Amino acid sequence: NAGVTQTPKFRILKIGQSMTLQCTQDMNHNYMYWYRQDPGMGLKLIYYSVGAGITDKGEVPNGYNVSRSTTEDFPLRLELAAPSQTSVYFCASSPLGESPLHFGNGTRLTVT
């Protein structure tokens, strides 16, 4: 099993550009999450999903969108990139709501 796979690993965007961070998991987990981690800060939840077709906002959703058309995939969309979105983005999954999270390797995004 590959676990949780994120692509790309690194990306540099210009202000105003858009991009999609990809996340896929092969563990048949129902729950999937997107977090961002800024230096010296704890991970902040952007969006999460409890199953295909169901998504909900986390703590810091502004500037992002998600979709969950399949159990496996949970892409994160940035429509108009801003410098404040420079961060490391982690996708995670869990089988149940109370289960520990399995994280992907992260995507390092720089917006200049």
Partner 1 sequence: RKEVEQDPGPFNVPEGATVAFNCTYSNSASQSFFWYRQDCRKEPKLLMSVYSSGNEDGRFTAQLNRASQYISLLIRDSKLSDSATYLCVVRTGGGNKLTFGTGTQLKVEL
Is position 1 an interface residue for partner 1 (rule: CB under 8 A)? no
Nearer to partner 1, 47 or 78 (CB): 47
State the Cα torsion 5-24-39-60 to the nearest 10°.
180
Is position 79 an interface residue for partner 1 (rule: CB under 8 A)? no
What is the CB-side half-sphere exposure of residue 41 using CA atoms within 13 A?
A: 11
Which positions from 50 through 69 interact with partner 1, judged by CB under 8 A? 50, 56, 58
User: Before 8, cis peptide (omega within 30)?
Assistant: yes
CA atoms of 87 and 24, how far apart (whole Å): 20
Q: Which stretch binds partner 1 (CB under 8 A): 15-23, 62-70, 75-83, 90-98?
A: 90-98
Nearer to partner 1, 18 or 99 (CB): 99
Nearer to partner 1, 32 or 111 (CB): 32
CA atoms of 30 and 35, how far apart (whole Å): 17
Q: Which helix (H) or strand (E) holds 78?
A: strand 76-78
Tokens of 6: 């994120």
Which positions from 2 through 61 interact with partner 1, judged by CB under 8 A? 31, 33, 35, 40-45, 48, 50, 56, 58
User: Which residues would be at the binding site for partner 1 (CB under 8 A)?
Assistant: 31, 33, 35, 40-45, 48, 50, 56, 58, 90, 94, 96-101, 103-106
